[in-house]
Amino acid sequence: MKFNAPKSANQKTLQKPKNTKYVLKRLSQYLLHFKWMILLAIVLAVISNVLALLGPMLSGKAVDAIELGKGMVDFKTVFYYCFIMVIFYVLSSVFSYILSILMVKISQKVVYQMRRDVFNQLMRLPIGYFDTHATGDIISKISYDIDTINTSLSNDLIQIVASLITVIGSLGMMIAISPTLLLVFCFTVPLSIVLTKYMTGKTRPMFSKRSRALGELNGFVEEMVSGQKTITAYHQEQNMIERFDKQNENAVTAYYRAEYYGSMVGPTVNFVNNLSLSLISVFGAILFLMQHLSLGDITSFVLYSRKFSGPINEAANIVAELQSALAAGERVFKLIDEAPELEDCQDAVVLENVKGAVAFHQVDFGYTPDRPILKKVSFEAEPGQTIAIVGPTGAGKTTIINLLMRFYDPLGGEILIDGQNIQSLTRESLRKNFSMVLQDTWLFEGSIFENIAYGKDNATLEEVMKVAKAAHIHTFITQLPNGYDTILSNDGVNISKGQKQLLTIARAMLLDSKILILDEATSNVDTRTERQIQAAMLSLMEGKTSFVIAHRLSTIQNADLILVVQDGNIIEQGTHDELMALNQFYASLYQAQYS
């Protein structure tokens, strides 16, 4: 398996975004799921804009009903055309309103599916992805970036479609009125296109940088909020405020630069449109004096020119929002395109009837090939044995567990369960035979019963209560107002850290698995409670192969096998008495703790 080194923040900033065609293609794939609604939206847009385009023509006919120089006005004709024009504009507004509602529904469906795809992708990604990407940045992609796309789909897409119809319709009407006067746009339209293309090319990278800066800010805030107690304990509030100010300034600067240069596009194009209107007025007056055009024709042409130029100006105004949506889309699609966890090999078999024999044979591993963590690690565990893994921080203890669970695959050697190489097994069946209790507890928003029964389908209240009693948490639960129905919120902030860990221990006890992993499982429990749990867990661990990572060596004295890991190597292995008799590294660790 190949491992890539995580990119630094600077490297990420220098990455070139994918092109616009790619993002639009991916968005169109989502839109095509609702092609009939899109077709209806196009029909509504055509009807609404065609009705609006008839207004200037009717206005010109109303003006021509006035005979200049004779002081005569055909009021009947004027009122007739005005009445028809009002009806057309009202109908156009009604269809436009229906179109807006329809586009909001389409955008909601697209964003729902997109957010679902992102979350499903997160569930398929390997653990290594979360080890190398900030949580806040991931959350920013599934919330802020997708919301940005939603806004663009529900608003900008309507304007773009309406603008296209209006421009084409207005152009046809102006050709019918005066092809000569239309020559003005041969100068102003190319000028608008060149300016828009140049300025959007400059602003696109700025919006990408803005999205990254906001993601980094979210990541920083998420870290600071989760570590607030530590910050306060170490009196680092001012230091964190200064670091936040720096992150905030970077985000605001990136946001300001993107919005500043993006907002310049609209006024620039608007200037060109006003220039075209001035030229039309001048040349139209000349053609009127030459009797090549009527006053009504000039009126209609000016109105159509505004309709023709208006959408171009509107398109320029929404370029900033569109650029922001494209930049957000790039980040979202990049996440969706991340390589998922490697699929099981074609001939992978389901792990069944597990006894619990585990063996590592000459296992090599590094999170990157040039930085080895484990070197030629070998050991064997018999079914039902308790294996303790000890050693200094960073020695590779947790890495052994990660490999056993196939969160990562070894670079060399093999890992066997009941004599079968775990790479020949399906990951799902492999992991179903493990239960884990980690040092970092994780609880979700739900009842205590749901949190304990999380890993076992159709668990009964009696089963949950049994393991809660074994974990010495039953009494505490029954004293709560709603007992086992008490809702835990925000990762269990309404209970103590020790109680949270006891709940996760009860959760692991409930699983009918043959292999148990305890990674500093009692680190947040007081000594008295720890001893009670130890006694309860000894009976519950019977018949299970248990791997225990512990810094308190007193908790693993009864282990069947103790692995002493240092610098990625197993330097000693044996029972507590055997290792103490060697009087080497393990003995020095034990004596350092209890001398």
> For residue 342, how many other CB atoms are within 10 A of its CB?
12
Which pLDDT does position 13 carry in this prediction? Answer: 34
Whole-number Å distance between alpha carbons of 24 and 17: 13
Would you say 431 and 405 are in contact if contact means Cβ atoms under 8 Å apart?
yes
3-state helix, strand, coil split of the chain in percent (to 5) is 65, 10, 25
Which tokens belong to 86? 């009002």
Q: What is the CATH number of domain 358-594?
A: 3.40.50.300
Would you say 297 and 114 are in contact if contact means Cβ atoms under 8 Å apart?
no
What type of residue is 524? N
pLDDT in tens, 278-292: 777 777 777 777 777
- The values of phi and psi at residue 96, to 5°, are -65, -40
The pLDDT of 530-537, averaged and rounded, is 66
Q: DSSP states of 59-89 as a string?
A: HHHHHHTEETTTTEE-HHHHHHHHHHHHHHH
pLDDT at 123 over 50: yes
pLDDT at 347 over 80: yes
For the question of whether the overall pTM of this predicted structure is more than 0.85, the answer is: no
The ranges assigned to domains in the chain are: 19-33+105-336, 358-594
Alpha-helix runs per DSSP H in 318-434? 319-336, 397-404, 427-432
> For residue 497, how many other CB atoms are within 10 A of its CB?
14
pLDDT at 416 over 90: yes
Lowest-confidence range among 16-25, 329-338, 366-375, 480-489?
16-25
Q: What percent of the chain lies above the pLDDT cut of 70?
A: 88
The pLDDT of 385-399, averaged and rounded, is 86
pLDDT in tens, 549-578: 877 777 788 888 999 998 888 899 999 889
Which pLDDT does position 316 carry in this prediction? Answer: 59
Alpha-helix runs per DSSP H in 144-227? 146-151, 157-177, 185-226
The residue with greater pLDDT, 493 or 504, is 504
- 468: Cβ–Cβ under 8 A, 6 or more apart, which residues? 452, 474, 477, 484, 506
pLDDT in tens, 188-223: 777 777 777 777 777 777 877 877 787 788 778 877
The pLDDT of 175-199, averaged and rounded, is 76
pLDDT in tens, 235-263: 778 888 888 888 888 888 888 888 777 77
pLDDT at 277 over 90: no
Question: Coil, helix or strand for 571?
Answer: strand
Which pLDDT does position 282 carry in this prediction? Answer: 78
Which pLDDT does position 17 carry in this prediction? Answer: 40
- 479: Cβ–Cβ under 8 A, 6 or more apart, which residues? none
Pairing outcome for strands 358-365 and 545-549: unpaired
Which pLDDT does position 9 carry in this prediction? Answer: 34
Whole-number Å distance between alpha carbons of 248 and 236: 18
pLDDT in tens, 69-121: 455 666 788 788 888 888 988 998 999 889 888 888 888 888 888 888 888 88
Instruction: Give burial (CB, 10 Å; 0-12/13-18/19+) of 440.
Output: exposed
Which tokens belong to 212? 């990254």
Whole-number Å distance between alpha carbons of 98 and 78: 31
The residue with greater pLDDT, 176 or 484, is 484
pLDDT at 583 over 50: yes
Question: Coil, helix or strand for 113?
Answer: helix
pLDDT at 373 over 90: no
Three-state SS letters, 212-272: HHHHHHHHHHHHHHHCHHHHHHCCCHHHHHHHHHHHHHHHHHHHHHHHHHHHCHHHHHHHH
Residue whose token pair is 């039953």:
474
Whole-number Å distance between alpha carbons of 21 and 33: 19
- Closest C-alpha among 330, 388, 319, 363 to residue 557: 388
Whole-number Å distance between alpha carbons of 430 and 432: 6
The residue with greater pLDDT, 134 or 454, is 454
Whole-number Å distance between alpha carbons of 200 and 206: 10
Question: Coil, helix or strand for 29?
Answer: helix
Q: What percent of the chain lies above the pLDDT cut of 90?
A: 6
For the chain, how long is the longest CA-to-CA vector?
A: 124
Would you say 38 and 31 are in contact if contact means Cβ atoms under 8 Å apart?
yes
Question: Coil, helix or strand for 517?
Answer: strand
What type of residue is 137? D
Which pLDDT does position 433 carry in this prediction? Answer: 86
Which pLDDT does position 391 carry in this prediction? Answer: 85
Q: How many CA atoms lie within 13 A of 124 on its CB side?
A: 15
Would you say 258 and 210 are in contact if contact means Cβ atoms under 8 Å apart?
yes
pLDDT at 2 over 50: no
Which tokens belong to 98? 């229906």
- The CA–CA distances, whole Å, from 443 to 224, 450, 507, 511, 524 equal 20, 10, 10, 16, 15
Whole-number Å distance between alpha carbons of 135 and 148: 19
pLDDT at 12 over 60: no
Q: What is the CATH number of domain 19-33+105-336?
A: 1.20.1560.10
pLDDT at 4 over 50: no
Which pLDDT does position 73 carry in this prediction? Answer: 62
Whole-number Å distance between alpha carbons of 503 and 437: 10
pLDDT at 14 over 60: no
- How many helices and strands, by DSSP H and E, does the chain display? 23, 14
Which pLDDT does position 360 carry in this prediction? Answer: 93
Which pLDDT does position 5 carry in this prediction? Answer: 34
Query: Per-residue confidence at 490, pLDDT binned at 50, 70, 90?
Result: low
DSSP summary character for residue 436: E
pLDDT at 403 over 50: yes
pLDDT at 298 over 60: yes
Query: Per-residue confidence at 11, pLDDT binned at 50, 70, 90?
Result: very low
The pLDDT of 444-468, averaged and rounded, is 87
Lowest-confidence range among 87-101, 455-469, 534-548, 581-595?
534-548
Whole-number Å distance between alpha carbons of 217 and 214: 5
- The CA–CA distances, whole Å, from 235 to 220, 225, 497 equal 18, 15, 22
Lowest-confidence range among 43-57, 131-145, 455-469?
131-145
Which pLDDT does position 415 carry in this prediction? Answer: 93
